[in-house]
Amino acid sequence: MLTALWHNIDYVASVVLFCIGLYVVIAKNNLIKKFLGLNIMETAVFAFIIALGVIEDGQPPIMTGDAHGPFASPLPQTLVLTGIVVAVSTTALALTLIIRVYRRFGTIEADELRELE
Amino acid sequence: MRRPIAISLAFLAAVPLLAGVAGLPVHGDPSAPVHTHVSARYIEHGVEEAGASNLVTGVLLNYRGLDAAGEVTVIFTALIAVLAVLTVASTRDADASNHDGRVRRSDADRRHPDHPVSPIVHFVVRLIAPFTALYAAYVILHGHVTPGGGFQGGAILGGLFIALTMVLGKERTRPLVRPVLAPWMQGAAVLTFAAVGAVGALLTGVYLGFPVDPSLRIVRDLMLIALEVGIALGGAAVLAMIFLQMEAS
């Protein structure tokens, strides 16, 4: 188990980053910080997917004249490109909603908002 | 109180994730499933089938063209949602703030104090702006041969617009976005996908199909470049509009 984890240390780094994001989402009180945590979690997932496509001694998957294999898998990179765009969209919408919450209640601290109910 | 719970939850979440990660094929192993299924085919036939030396662009716009079309719809929908939420909010919350007795932070408090931008930042942003624009154009138009593409170039363009707006003020950057053109720019990505998809349907019978015949290679290249430019303009316009809308509120 531990040797397997050591060989997959790149994936372990993504797991650590993901858990840091999860911690930020739960522990922080400020809504913007919570969404920063969510963005950290998204980044961890992207890093994990990109790391899956890596190949030993690989080249970037760009087929110019003198390029020779092995090539890194292009599919994970494409999927992550899609994911980043969706992450940007959700972040923009979340920030908009936070702006609206702040305008309505004058605070974006989660516990103060809970007291207002 | 909150912190120990959060830490223990994060560790709890790490256990199944680490167990799963330990069971994956070794990092970089050429026989891992990710390298032996569709990826192998993309690498072997991608250039002649998709028409882009950069396989990421080829996969994004050709093999997974519908996916990319959905993706640009997502950012466009995000823009619509941002506009809807903030526009409704600005009219209704103004009424609400008159009625509730709570002490709200005053408007002047919320708005940015009008301090001048540092002259160094001002100079540097203006200095690098033309080069950033050139770089963005290169990333967009060369995206099928080198790393880059519509989304990346669009993000650079949008970032440039936001930097200029923050430094020079809205009055100087407003002429860049003509009110007549703005909606078309924001919808550029979606519209380009619809147009190129229709061209593909005419040529191959499949929506967003790309001709593979060698004699039509120039058409296929033009379709790819049109998609890149459309995605870039649309992405940049959406980013800029989201920023302007948030700043205005």
pLDDT for B109 equals: 41
B198 at interface of A, judged by CB pairs closer than 8 A: no
CA of residue B223 relative to chain centroid, distance = 19
- In a domain? residue B28: no
Predicted complex ipTM: 0.84
Q: Which of B11, B34, B105 sits opposite A73 (nearest CB)?
A: B34
What is the domain range of residue B78?
54-95+116-248
Over 60: is that where the pLDDT of B68 sits?
A: yes
- In a domain? residue B34: no
SS3 for chain B is: CHHHHHHHHHHHHHHHHHHHHHCCCCCECCCCHHHHCHHHHHHHHHHHHHCCCEHHHHHHHHHCHHHHHHHHHHHHHHHHHHHHHHHHHHHHHHHHHHHCCCCCCCHHHHCCCCCCCCHHHHHHHHHHHHHHHHHHHHHHHCCCCCCCCHHHHHHHHHHHHHHHHHHHCHHHHHHHCCCCCHHHHHCHHHHHHHHHHHHHHHHHCCCCCCCCCHHHHHHHHHHHHHHHHHHHHHHHHHHHHHHHHHHHC
Model pLDDT for residues B38-62, shown as the tens digit of each residue: 888 888 888 888 878 888 888 888 8
What structural domains does chain A harbor? Answer: 2-57+69-116 (1.10.287.3510)
Q: Which of B7, B26, B46 sits opposite A8 (nearest CB)?
A: B26
- In a domain? residue B23: no
What pTM did the predictor assign? Answer: 0.84
CA distance A30 to chain B (A): 13
What pLDDT band is residue A40 in, cutting at 50, 70 and 90? very high
Cα separation, B246 vs B61, whole angstroms: 31
B84 at interface of A, judged by CB pairs closer than 8 A: no
- In a domain? residue B121: yes
User: Are A104 and B93 within 8 A, CB to CB?
Assistant: yes
User: Are B43 and A11 within 8 A, CB to CB?
Assistant: no
pLDDT for B105 equals: 45
- In a domain? residue B201: yes
Q: How many domains does chain B have?
A: 1
- In a domain? residue B105: no
- In a domain? residue B227: yes
Mark which residues 52-111 of A lie under 8 Å from B by CB: 52-56, 58, 60-64, 69-71, 73-78, 81-82, 84-86, 88-90, 92-93, 95-97, 99-100, 103-104, 106
Mutate to test the interface with A, among B7, B11, B18, B74 (most CBs of A within 10 A): B18
- Long-range CB contacts (< 8 A, 24+ apart) of B18-24? B18/A5, B18/A12, B18/A15, B19/A1, B21/A5, B21/A8, B21/A11, B21/A12, B21/A14, B21/A15, B22/A1, B22/A4, B22/A5, B22/A8, B23/A4, B24/A8, B24/A11, B24/A52
pLDDT for B107 equals: 44
What pLDDT band is residue B176 in, cutting at 50, 70 and 90? confident
Over 90: is that where the pLDDT of B35 sits?
A: no
Q: Which of B56, B67, B82 sits opposite A77 (nearest CB)?
A: B56
pLDDT for B112 equals: 46
Mutate to test the interface with A, among B38, B41, B54 (most CBs of A within 10 A): B54
- In a domain? residue B32: no
pLDDT for B160 equals: 93
Mean pLDDT over A76-98 rounds to 91
